């Protein structure tokens, strides 16, 4: 694709997280041509796994549950192909990070990626590739504009995509920025329906610090490898070795929403020190041999809209979806993406 010669397709999907990939899956099934673009180096969005030294660490979503179809069908297929495996039916719970953790088993299955949480989105992306969908990573959309030809998406670097419809999955505040940059908002344009704009503008997220620690000996996190803390600076700790994805002991420490909001702009070294001190009971006698801090700005929606997607415009059809719609978390994002895909397929007359 060269600047001045935009790539054309039926539907452009912005974001290769669970919502975008699941929307693309539905659109390909409907016989539409699909291009998925993501600004990141790989697919998965907040389902994120990385290496740190010899360790493998999930630093975004830690596990997922399945409560309904059609996400259940996706997970069943992914399990059959070895991308997803069951982890457990509950984690230890502590009243606070420095309190003892009691085992908690509610009988409800938690799943994980076989080698890390990115396995499910990677598997979906490979399946989409085999179905002739195009997936472009390292491709940041800089604006969403609506013209007589359809939706125009300029990319960083000068390329452009033109599509008959568009599925938009970035966190909602970032989506509104893309609409503004494309001239879809504001009194002069009036392209976005007022009710849709009000709904989208009401969505807010908590940030989250994810501290990753590689240890020289096993941690004190109890089986099956996770502790949920009800209060204090830490909300969750996981031992990635016990989880079964890291060859060496390595912790993921997620700060609480309150801590992450209050300390979001603090120097990273200060934040790491504060979280390491709070996590000391679970680090135990181990020495930290490597550490890294990830700052998720839009980690978890704290307002969730009670609709599976929001149609921002109908001509051309542009639909917003993701985990802020009809259910946060991985399953909510996937279900929202599928619902948005079905809506666009209907609007464009897909099979």
Ligand X SMILES: Cc1cc2nc3c(=O)[nH]c(=O)nc-3n(C[C@H](O)[C@H](O)[C@H](O)COP(=O)(O)OP(=O)(O)OC[C@H]3O[C@@H](n4cnc5c(N)ncnc54)[C@H](O)[C@@H]3O)c2cc1C
Residues at the contact surface with ligand X, assessed by CB under 6 A: 14-20, 37-40, 45-47, 60-64, 140-141, 169-170, 174, 178, 208, 210, 254, 296, 299-300, 322-323, 328-330, 333
Q: What minimum distance in Å lies between the beta carbon of 4 and ligand X? A: 21
Alpha-carbon dihedral sign for residues 239, 241, 246, 248: positive
Query: 71: buried, middle or exposed (CB in 10 Å: 19+, 13-18, 0-12)?
Result: buried
Query: 188: buried, middle or exposed (CB in 10 Å: 19+, 13-18, 0-12)?
Result: exposed
Q: What minimum distance in Å lies between the beta carbon of 340 and ligand X? A: 10
* Residue 44, token pair as written in the block: 């998965």
Are 331 and 254 in contact by the 8 Å Cβ rule? The answer is no
Distance CA 144, CA 178 (A): 5
* Residue 239, token pair as written in the block: 């031992």
**Which residue number, 30 or 208, has a Cβ lying nearer to ligand X?**
208
Question: At a CB cut-off of 8 Å and minimum separation 6, what does 212 contact?
Answer: 50, 52, 55, 57, 59, 250, 251, 252, 253, 291, 292, 293, 294
Q: What minimum distance in Å lies between the beta carbon of 242 and ligand X? A: 16
Q: What minimum distance in Å lies between the beta carbon of 165 and ligand X? A: 17
**Which residue number, 150 or 322, has a Cβ lying nearer to ligand X?**
322
**Which residue number, 262 or 285, has a Cβ lying nearer to ligand X?**
262
**Which residue number, 47 or 196, has a Cβ lying nearer to ligand X?**
47
Q: What minimum distance in Å lies between the beta carbon of 139 and ligand X? A: 6
Q: 23 in helix, strand or coil?
A: helix
**Residue holding tokens 């290769």?**
16
- Which of 280, 273, 269, 275 lies closest to 208 in space, CA to CA? 275
Distance CA 295, CA 260 (A): 9
- Which of 329, 32, 302 lies closest to 167 in space, CA to CA? 32
**Residue holding tokens 């969005």?**
45
**Which residue number, 10 or 323, has a Cβ lying nearer to ligand X?**
323
- Which residue of the chain is nearest ligand X when measured via CB? 45
Distance CA 46, CA 330 (A): 9
Q: What minimum distance in Å lies between the beta carbon of 216 and ligand X? A: 25
Q: What minimum distance in Å lies between the beta carbon of 39 and ligand X? A: 4
Q: What minimum distance in Å lies between the beta carbon of 349 and ligand X? A: 26
**Which residue number, 112 or 187, has a Cβ lying nearer to ligand X?**
112
**Which residue number, 156 or 216, has a Cβ lying nearer to ligand X?**
156
**Which residue number, 243 or 254, has a Cβ lying nearer to ligand X?**
254
């Amino acid at each position: 694709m060269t600047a001045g010669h935009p790539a054309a397709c039926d539907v452009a999907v912005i974001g290769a997280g669970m919502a975008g990939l699941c929307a693309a899956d539905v659109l390909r099934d409907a016989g539409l041509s699909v291009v998925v673009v993501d600004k990141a180096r790989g697919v998965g969005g907040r389902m994120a796994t990385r290496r740190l030294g010899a360790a493998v660490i999930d630093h975004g979503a830690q596990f997922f549950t399945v409560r309904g179809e059609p996400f259940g069908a996706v997970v069943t297929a992914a399990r059959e192909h070895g991308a997803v495996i069951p982890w457990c039916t509950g984690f230890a719970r502590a009243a606070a990070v420095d309190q003892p953790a009691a085992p908690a088993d509610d009988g409800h299955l938690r799943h994980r990626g076989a080698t890390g949480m990115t396995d499910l989105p990677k598997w979906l992306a490979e399946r989409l590739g085999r179905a002739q969908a195009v997936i472009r990573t390292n491709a940041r959309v800089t604006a969403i504009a609506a013209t007589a030809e359809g939706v125009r998406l300029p990319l960083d670097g000068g390329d452009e995509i033109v599509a008959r419809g568009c599925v938009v999955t970035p966190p909602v505040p970032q989506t509104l920025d893309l609409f503004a940059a494309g001239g879809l908002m504001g009194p002069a344009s009036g392209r976005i329906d007022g009710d849709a704009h009000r709904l989208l503008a009401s969505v807010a997220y908590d940030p989250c610090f994810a501290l990753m620690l590689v240890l020289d000996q096993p941690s004190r996190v109890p089986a099956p490898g996770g502790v949920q803390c009800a209060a204090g600076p830490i909300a969750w700790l996981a031992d990635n070795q016990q989880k079964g994805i890291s060859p060496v002991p390595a912790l993921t420490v997620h700060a609480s929403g309150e801590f992450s909001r209050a300390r979001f702009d603090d120097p990273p070294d200060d934040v790491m020190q504060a979280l390491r001190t709070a996590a000391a009971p679970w680090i135990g006698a181990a020495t930290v041999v490597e550490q890294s801090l990830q700052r998720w700005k839009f980690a978890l929606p704290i307002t969730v809209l009670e609709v599976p997607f929001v149609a921002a415009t109908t001509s051309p059809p542009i639909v917003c979806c993701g985990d802020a719609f009809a259910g946060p978390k991985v399953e909510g994002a996937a279900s929202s993406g599928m619902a948005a895909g079905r809506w666009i397929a209907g609007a464009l007359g897909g099979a």
